[in-house]
Chain A
Amino acid sequence: MQTKDFLKQITEASGVSGYEDSVRELVRTEFALYADEIRTDTLGSLIALKRGERSAETPRRSIMLAGHMDEIGLVITQAEKGYLRFSTVGGFDLRVLLGQEVVVHGHRDLPGVIGTRPPHVLSSEEQEQVVPLDRLFIDVGLTEAELAESVRVGDIVTLRRDFTELAGGLVAGKAFDDRAAVACIAQCLQHLSTLKHTWDVYAVATVQEETGLKGALTSAFGIEPDIGIAIDVGHGNMLGVSEVDTVNVGGGPALGFGPNIHPVLYEQLVGVAKKYEICHQIDPIPGASGTDAWAMQVTREGMPTALISIPLRYMHTTVETLSLKDVERIGRLLALFIAGLSEESASELGLAR
């Protein structure tokens, strides 16, 4: 599928951490076009294997690509007078929740809205206060009795936002963190189907990243790859945020560098980007990257890990914004990198024979 169409399809679907099922089926359909084997691990990560072509004497090597398919969301905690109280799944800025449309996954999917008191009844003092979680309510327009029958405590809520095309090849929507990475991986697999590669490729759409990198932890353990690359989103340049903290939207893959990233693997990625003239940028990350790469790096006895970030504005909101070109560049970079992997690259990385 075209990157844009696939990204639209998977980001408009619901898949809050721990409840990624419907997204997983969409990803499975796409990955299946290129994979030799597909399985789902115990926690729910989707693992697609595309085998490398190698001679009998060449040792089997593998690379794991991880992009998480879960999104931040909400969970119902209580019904009160026809309204629903909720808590968050993943890290939210409460200030972006007012006036958002949602879908409550009750007995059936119920459209609703996170209500706001009209300004007419608010004091100027109240308008200067961030509404705390215990004063926020979801309204699905049902009576108290109807609610009791259709919604239960623990029901999951997805924020709703249609995929939108902006100017200059930019798109906006929800859950680009991190389904845009899943789209990068799909792009990579598509490229690889026309390239020769000797290493096995595990394309993994991980689960529960937003609640603690859980899916990457178990899937990496199960796969036991030689090296791993996580693809995630990085803060894109935006008004009001220091340039030091951001990478450029439309500036190409942001290659992470720091303790979470194996320096040789980083150099290899930079080398491929330079060789094929793929516009890229450096993303210095002095500590925890907060991505699947952080979990993958310390799997079993440890492995060389890299992180490629998609520059993205307004992270963890329903209007996350990125450049489709960056997604396509990352897909291409990954594929060309994988096609170039050899025993020489393995020895550069210090991998055991």
Chain B
Amino acid sequence: MLLKELSEAVGVSGHEGAVRQLILDAIKGQVDEHRVDALGNLIALKKGHGEKRRKVMVAAHMDEIGLMIVRIEKEGSLRFRPVGGIDHRVLLAKKVLIGDKKVPGVIGSKPVHLLEPRQRQQVVHVEEMSIDIGATSQDDASNLVKVGDYATFDVSYRELGGQLRAVTGKAFDDRAGCAVLIQLLSGTYPFDLYATFTVQEEVGLRGARVAAYSIAPDVAFALEGTICDDMPKLKDVSPTTIVGGGAAITIMDRSVIADRRLVDLLVRTAEEHGIPHQFKQPNMGGTDAGAIHLARTGVPAVTVAVPSRYIHSPVCLLSLNDLDSTVKLMRETLMGVNDIELNR
């Protein structure tokens, strides 16, 4: 299962090489050409048939949230800072892998026995945490890691089974999107498909911005593993998306107001083919579509996503049913992309 390999690969924003190589190996033979740009985006072109062909960009980001080592303390423990948006409450008592050598370490936590009652109610901030790799001195630690090394959570992909075909693993945001995009490449389309695996989404949609400039697409889709908040809550607030509810179509989020013609095409296609789908609650999160739709003079863009619980934490959970629905919805929708009137 490709999602397992994608999830277990390490690619914190700015250091996506391993994920890029994995994807390159997976798509070779299915694309006509590919290149890696200055920031590290992997842009693969699958040529379509016909005379006046549109350029359709479909993007998924390779990077994941993670940590960066910023200091090695005298007694050998490592200080770190988050890369991308991480709730510091999820960091305690986790195992991490540091640097390209994947040196194991643990984020320790002061034992509960030594906490005063009020401390038990206090959130520990990342500045107070450290990673223990077993080193006893700065020199000792420096033999294994260096300042600037990236770290990721050490989490294995697991299949939980059941009707939802749930799976858990790290970085489903956005390796789920990468998995969908890779599957889309097995089809043939009546336009030039620019399958774009972007970098640095988690630190500000950086890769998509320059990729969209160079591709100059007529239409763009961003594929995501998106926010899902469907656990029981005190207040009756929206779950954003629901696991098992099908492909999530974005109408608007913090980064983009999706092109209505593309939203309508997605919905029409889903209804015609009976593909499970849902709408992501407006104004939550942001995606590569936010950068792409502002490229050059503007690009009609929309985001389609696989709902994923616990994104930006060590362990995410998604339903393979939703992932399959997203692939199906995108496949069918792309077939209709040529028919949309792009002039206003």
| Interface residue ranges, A against B (CB under 8 Å) | 80-81, 83, 91-96, 98-101, 110-113, 115-122, 127-131, 135, 137, 139-143, 146, 161-162, 164-170, 172, 235, 238-241, 245, 250, 290, 313-319, 321
List the one stretch of B23-31, B80-88, B212-220, B270-278 in contact with chain A: B80-88
Give the residues from 14 to 61 in chain B that come closer than 8 angstroms, CB to CB, to chain A: none
In the complex, are the beta carbons of B314 and A240 less than 8 A apart? Answer: no
Query: Please, which residues of chain A bring their CB within 8 A of the CB of B315?
Result: 99-101, 113
Chain A nearest CB: distance from B23 CB in Å? 25
B interface, how many residues as a size bin? Answer: 35 or more
Q: Of all chain B residues, which has the CB nearest A95?
A: B92
B309 on the interface (CB 8 Å rule)?
A: yes
In the complex, are the beta carbons of B135 and A167 less than 8 A apart? Answer: yes
Which of A96, A128, A245 is in CB contact (< 8 Å) with B109?
A96
- 9 closest Cβ pairs, A-B complex: A141-B166, A166-B134, A170-B134, A319-B106, A93-B112, A167-B134, A141-B160, A317-B93, A96-B93
Q: Of all chain A residues, which has the CB nearest B319?
A: A141
B105 on the interface (CB 8 Å rule)?
A: yes
In the complex, are the beta carbons of A319 and B107 less than 8 A apart? Answer: yes
| Interface residue ranges, B against A (CB under 8 Å) | 73, 75, 77, 85-90, 92-95, 103-115, 120-124, 128, 130, 132-136, 140-141, 144, 154-155, 158, 160-164, 166-168, 227-229, 231-232, 234, 237, 240, 243-244, 284-285, 309-315, 317, 319
**Docked pose: A282 CA to B266 CA in angstroms:** 70
Q: A91-B113, A113-B317, A321-B108 are in contact. List 20 more A-B contacts (CB 8 A).
A: A93-B109, A95-B89, A95-B124, A100-B315, A121-B237, A121-B284, A122-B87, A127-B123, A139-B317, A141-B317, A142-B160, A168-B135, A239-B108, A240-B110, A240-B128, A316-B113, A317-B92, A319-B108, A321-B132, A321-B134
In the complex, are the beta carbons of B232 and A166 less than 8 A apart? Answer: no
Which of B132, B166, B309 is in CB contact (< 8 Å) with A115?
B309
In the complex, are the beta carbons of B310 and A116 less than 8 A apart? Answer: yes
30 contacts between A and B (CB under 8 A): A92-B112, A93-B109, A94-B120, A98-B92, A99-B90, A111-B158, A116-B87, A118-B311, A119-B312, A120-B227, A120-B284, A121-B229, A127-B87, A127-B89, A127-B123, A131-B89, A137-B231, A140-B162, A141-B168, A143-B162, A146-B163, A165-B104, A166-B132, A167-B144, A169-B134, A240-B128, A240-B130, A241-B114, A314-B106, A319-B108
Chain B nearest CB: distance from A131 CB in Å? 7
Which of A120, A128, A317 is in CB contact (< 8 Å) with B123?
A128
**Docked pose: A167 CA to B89 CA in angstroms:** 26
**Docked pose: A146 CA to B158 CA in angstroms:** 18
Query: Please, which residues of chain B bring their CB within 8 A of the CB of A172?
Result: 95, 104, 106, 132
In the complex, are the beta carbons of B140 and A167 less than 8 A apart? Answer: yes
Q: Of all chain A residues, which has the CB nearest B108?
A: A314
**Docked pose: A115 CA to B154 CA in angstroms:** 17
In the complex, are the beta carbons of A116 and B113 less than 8 A apart? Answer: no
**Docked pose: A113 CA to B309 CA in angstroms:** 10
